[in-house]
A and B are shown apart, each in its own frame.
Chain A
Amino acid sequence: MNRFDQETRDEWWIEFMEGEVSPSLERDLKFLLCHSQEDRQRLNEYKELRSEIEASDDSYLPENGYYYQNQHDSIMAAIENIEMDEPRAPIHERPFISKFKKFRPLFGTGFTALAFVIVGVFALKSIELQKSEDQGLIEFKELVQNEAEQKILLAAQESHRSIGFESETDMLRELAAQKFGQLSDAQAKALMNQLLE
């Protein structure tokens, strides 16, 4: 097992110990615990370390009630002499904003123009996409499939190594097929756009 694997596993076990894993990962990790002595040991080491840290706490608090009474009184005496900060004005009433109130119509025009530009750019892009959709879609899907498979395979390799499968390859194939099967055409398109960017 390389260092990266070990780190990833350590992160799992810490999250597991703290009750911070998702139900599905928790199920897988419990399964892993049943079958891997190394992981059981790793988890126990973290639990032990946590208890040791907890036991190392040397903080103490004064127990004398007068101590807290005095502290309370001095805090209350201090706030007698100070004023609470004024609540902040709503955003449109703040000086900087209100200074520009007279330019409000100009802002409106500016925003409208900007919106038109953005819509125009998107419209042009979608026309281009439409043109080449028929032939492009096939190539595109292929590309997305390859990329997605690669990403899923990599992610799966890091996070679910050999959990509940006969071999790692079986698990990865199964995961990749499941994940890609869940993508709609629209999602595939969106994913392709992301990848092309």
Chain B
Amino acid sequence: MKADIEIIEAVKSGHRAAFSELVIRYQRPLLRLVMRFSKDQSVAEDIVQDSFIKAYKKLHTFEGRSSFKSWLFQIGVNTAKNKLRDKSSDFMNIEDVHLGVAGNLDSNLMHQDLSEMIRSEVDRLPDKQRTALKLRIFEDLSFKEIAKIMDCPYDTAKANYRHALMKLKERVERNKQLKTWSEKEMSHFFEVRGRLVEVEQ
């Protein structure tokens, strides 16, 4: 199997079809990565396609200081962020507007399992922390690769990851406590047509 750098040299020297090998090698990992930022598969597909096209156009700027995979992932993450930013500025779904969640908190927590709660807390993290966390835990990348993808210093990538984990720990623990409390308290109620009714003792 040819090394990435050999294929890249071939493409740079005009052998366009050689790029096909890179697409085959990285389309799955890139799609998986992109789908962590966009749950919508059709949007993710567009992002993957755009990323490969950008990579092809800019291939001359790739100097081999990092791996092609990190470089491509960097393009993918940036393309995803731009695309999602554009999409969110186009319109805002009325259901996405939060109008004070305190009243729903207890009943939401009751129906949420741990994984769901973690997923929603991960989504609430600041952008850079969330990216560092996803790249580290789900993609199993080194901090050097994460730094390259996020275009930031190595220590910053690590700090973002650490802060994400510390924040998550605090929030998940608080939610677990709240859930336990809610379950205990809610055992005195039952639900009738979406309303909570107190059980007479």
> A14-B165, A71-B49, A75-B49 known; A56 and B143 CB under 8 Å?
no
- Kindly provide the distance from the CB of B144 to the nearest chain A CB, expressed in whole angstroms: 11
Q: Is the CB of B162 within 8 A of A15?
A: yes
Contacts of A53 in B (CB 8 A): 118, 122, 133, 137, 168
Q: Which 9 A-B pairs have the closest CB atoms?
A: A56-B115, A87-B60, A56-B118, A75-B52, A79-B56, A14-B162, A72-B23, A56-B119, A85-B57
In the bound assembly, the distance between CA atoms of A59 and B35 in angstroms comes to 7
User: C-beta contact mask, B173-198 vs A, less than 8 Å → 1, else 0?
Assistant: 00000000000000000000000000
Q: Could you list which residues of chain B lie within 8 angstroms of chain A, going by C-beta atoms?
A: 11-12, 16-17, 19-20, 23-24, 27-28, 31-32, 35-36, 41, 45, 48-49, 52-53, 56-61, 114-116, 118-119, 122, 133, 136-138, 143, 158, 161-162, 165-166, 168-169, 172
- Kindly provide the distance from the CB of A80 to the nearest chain B CB, expressed in whole angstroms: 7
- Kindly provide the distance from the CB of B184 to the nearest chain A CB, expressed in whole angstroms: 22
> A56-B122, A71-B49, A85-B61 known; A49 and B165 CB under 8 Å?
yes
Q: Do most interface residues of chain A lie in helix, strand or loop, or is the interface mixed?
A: helix
Q: Is the CB of B115 within 8 A of A76?
A: no
In the bound assembly, the distance between CA atoms of A59 and B32 in angstroms comes to 7
In the bound assembly, the distance between CA atoms of A128 and B32 in angstroms comes to 64
Q: Do most interface residues of chain B lie in helix, strand or loop, or is the interface mixed?
A: helix
- Kindly provide the distance from the CB of A94 to the nearest chain B CB, expressed in whole angstroms: 14
Shortest Cβ distance from B170 into A: residue: A10
Q: Could you list which residues of chain A lie within 8 angstroms of chain B, going by C-beta atoms?
A: 7, 10-11, 14-15, 18, 20, 45-46, 49-50, 52-62, 68, 71-72, 74-76, 78-80, 82-88
- Kindly provide the distance from the CB of A18 to the nearest chain B CB, expressed in whole angstroms: 8
Give 14 new A-B contacts, CB below 8 A, not counting A18-B143, A76-B20, A78-B53: A10-B166, A11-B166, A14-B161, A14-B165, A18-B136, A53-B118, A53-B168, A56-B114, A72-B27, A75-B27, A76-B17, A79-B19, A79-B53, A87-B60
> A58-B119, A84-B57, A85-B58 known; A49 and B16 CB under 8 Å?
no
Contacts of B57 in A (CB 8 A): 82-85
Contacts of A45 in B (CB 8 A): 169
Residue of A53, A55, A72 with most partner-chain B CB within 10 A: A53
In the bound assembly, the distance between CA atoms of A180 and B23 in angstroms comes to 56
In the bound assembly, the distance between CA atoms of A14 and B45 in angstroms comes to 34
Q: Is the CB of A61 within 8 A of B31?
A: yes
Shortest Cβ distance from A51 into B: residue: B137
Q: Is the CB of B19 within 8 A of A76?
A: yes
